[in-house]
Structure 1
Amino acid sequence: MRLGVLDVGSNTVHLLMVDAHRGGHPTPMSSTKAALRLAEQIDKNGDLTRKCADSLVETIAEFSGIARSSGCEEMMAFATSAVRDAGNSDAVLARVLDETGVTLEVLPGEDEARLTFLAVRRWFGWSAGRILNLDIGGGSLEICSGIDEDPDVALSLQLGAGRLTREWMPEAPPDRRRIAVLRDWLDAELADAAKQVKGSGKADLTVATSKTFRSLARLTGAAPSSAGPRVRRTLTATGLRQIIAFISRMTASDRAELEGVSSDRASQIVAGALVAEASMRALDVESVDICPWALREGLILRKLDTDLGHGTKGE
């Protein structure tokens, strides 16, 4: 069956369509994106701006039409932290439903973490042992650890790259003293979470998902996306520290010229790098393996497991 996943993230609205059956590898058919940067369009009252809501409704209507014309039997539409945390979330969701007919489900942070972990587990398999996974979004940081498909620990912290850019780094390049203060603040914010995660057991494999980690790995020499998803890509703590020293001295427009950094994420890559550095430091991690699967794939896998569990291929 052909499934569509409409992901309203804090940075990007992404429609992924796959052909899939239970027990099989979901085959991507098409991918359509729009960079709305919702996490950066919050007004002083904590609401998504009217202009932002207009863009969101227009984009969802367009992408829903693409899914229908492409033969999607079902489209799962969900939103993460930017919509979840907005003060006017209910009003925006109601408007989306009224004007597009799409029911946009808001995922709790812990569910987001667990679904991402499911995708990571399926990608690396049981032989990976206990997996620790880190995922940096625009609005939140998810941390999971476990030996099964459902993690023992699943945490969602309000430490996303877009959120911290808005709150800490409105200028680029950022002030050096502000970076030092942010590093100390992140260490304090992550202390309790790190204690909980480390208490669940030592990881056999540490993994990172999300565009932020992929971009950082690329900046430190990992293979480009054109090399395919199965090429091993890693990010080391040493390489990360070196790249932070480099990109934190650059303007956003200069960062956008770097290979692996898209223009819509150039403004927040420094904050994302600092969150990655602080997370790895708090968890005593020296390197992470980059996983190409994340939340969207986790939703597809869960859908196949539950809705198609009674059937077999070809039914």
Structure 2
Amino acid sequence: MRLGVIDVGSNTVHLLVVDAHPGASPVPYHSERSVLRLMRYLDADGAITEEGVVRIVDAIRRAVETIAEIGVDDVIPTATSAIREAANGEEVLARITRETGVELRVLSGEDEARITMLAVRRWLGWSAGEVLLFDIGGGSFEIAQGADEYPDVQVSLPLGAGRSTINFLAEDPPPREAVSRLRAHARAEFTRVREELFSDRPRPKRVVGTSKTIRSLARLIGGPSDPETGDLAQLHYAGLKEWEPSLRSMPGSVREYLPGITPERGYQIMAGAVVLRTAMKVFGVSTLTISPWALREGIVLRYIDALDGRGAEPVSALMGSPA
């Protein structure tokens, strides 16, 4: 079965086409992205501007054209924090459906965490035991922990790399004081959720990071194996701390030429580094294992599970079995 996943995030509209079958790992067939940077298209009221909506619609149209050329058995269209938290999110969704024919399924932050944990667990295998997961998007930062395919506890915070850049590090490059304010805010948020939700959890056997931001930082710092293939690549707290002053001193237009940093990430990688390092410090993490599988792979896996009579775990935005 060939499946297409359209993922509308804060930074990109990403189309992933895979060949997938029950009991087997999904095999990538095609992948393409359209850069959005939606955090730059929010007005003072938190609504996506007309220019931002046009960019989303155009990107989805291109994805639909590609799907038509390739030919797929089914399409799973999803949206995450950028549209979920926009003041005019419902209007944007209605317009997307009207102009493209695509009806996006909006995932909650908790759903993102749960589906991503499913992908990470399948990639790691059961021997991984208790897993703590960090996932940085453009708009949100998800944390989840558990010893099963789905986490026992999860939380989503508005600390994505793009949102943190807009809210705290808008000046490019950012002054030291702005970085300190972001760090203090992130520390307070992570400390709160650690004490409220994670204090009674056992110490994780492995801490895993997903998302393009974390993979980019791992490649920049230099893990022991290839972050692009995800072959147990790692990101170390010490390396992140060492690189932070250099990232702060560079404008985004220079950062994008660093190893692993793509143009759409250059402006926000500093905020991503600050938020991730703060999370690692608050949760006492010295090393992250980098997973190549994340939300999109989890969506595919859950779809296939439903076909195979599995997937009873309730995830609000993906409840029904596929037709």
Aligned to 2:221: 220
Quote the Cα distance in structure 2 between the aligned partners of 1:116 and 1:48. Answer: 26
Summarize the alignment of residues 1-315 of structure 1 with structure 2, pairs less than 5 Å apart: 1-195=1-195, 196-222=197-223, 229-309=229-309
Task: Give the alignment's TM-score, normalised by structure 2.
Answer: 0.93
Quote the Cα distance in structure 1 between the aligned partners of 2:250 and 2:32. Answer: 30
Q: C-alpha displacement at 1:223, in angstroms?
A: 6.5
Is contact 1:173–1:251 with CA below 8 Å preserved after alignment?
yes
Q: C-alpha displacement at 1:68, in angstroms?
A: 2.1
AA at the equivalent of 2:95: R
Post-superposition Cα deviations, 1:120-164, rounded to whole Å, max 9, x if no partner, equal 000001000000000000000000000000101111011111001
Quote the Cα distance in structure 2 between the aligned partners of 1:111 and 1:201. Answer: 22
Q: Which runs of 5+ in 2 are unaligned?
A: 311-323
Post-superposition Cα deviations, 1:214-252, rounded to whole Å, max 9, x if no partner, equal 011111113786x85252211111000011111111011
Q: C-alpha displacement at 1:177, in angstroms?
A: 1.4
Quote the Cα distance in structure 2 between the aligned partners of 1:209 and 1:61. Answer: 27
Quote the Cα distance in structure 1 between the aligned partners of 2:230 and 2:219. Answer: 15
**Distance 1:81-1:284 versus aligned 2 partners, 3 A rule:** same
**Distance 1:4-1:270 versus aligned 2 partners, 3 A rule:** same
Q: Which runs of 5+ in 1 are unaligned?
A: 311-315
What number of residue pairs does the alignment pair up? 309
Moved over 3 A (4+): none
SS in 1 for 2:264: coil
Quote the Cα distance in structure 2 between the aligned partners of 1:154 and 1:219. Answer: 28
| Worse-matched range after superposition: 144-153 or 61-70 | 61-70
Quote the Cα distance in structure 1 between the aligned partners of 2:69 and 2:136. Answer: 33
Q: C-alpha displacement at 1:307, in angstroms?
A: 2.5
Quote the Cα distance in structure 2 between the aligned partners of 1:120 and 1:180. Answer: 32
**Distance 1:228-1:165 versus aligned 2 partners, 3 A rule:** closer
AA at the equivalent of 2:248: S
What percentage of aligned pairs have identical amino acids?
45
**Distance 1:128-1:144 versus aligned 2 partners, 3 A rule:** same
Is contact 1:120–1:294 with CA below 8 Å preserved after alignment?
yes
Is contact 1:117–1:149 with CA below 8 Å preserved after alignment?
yes
Task: Give the alignment's TM-score, normalised by structure 1.
Answer: 0.95
AA at the equivalent of 1:197: F
SS in 2 for 1:265: helix
AA at the equivalent of 2:215: R
Aligned to 1:313: none
SS in 2 for 1:284: coil
SS in 1 for 2:110: helix
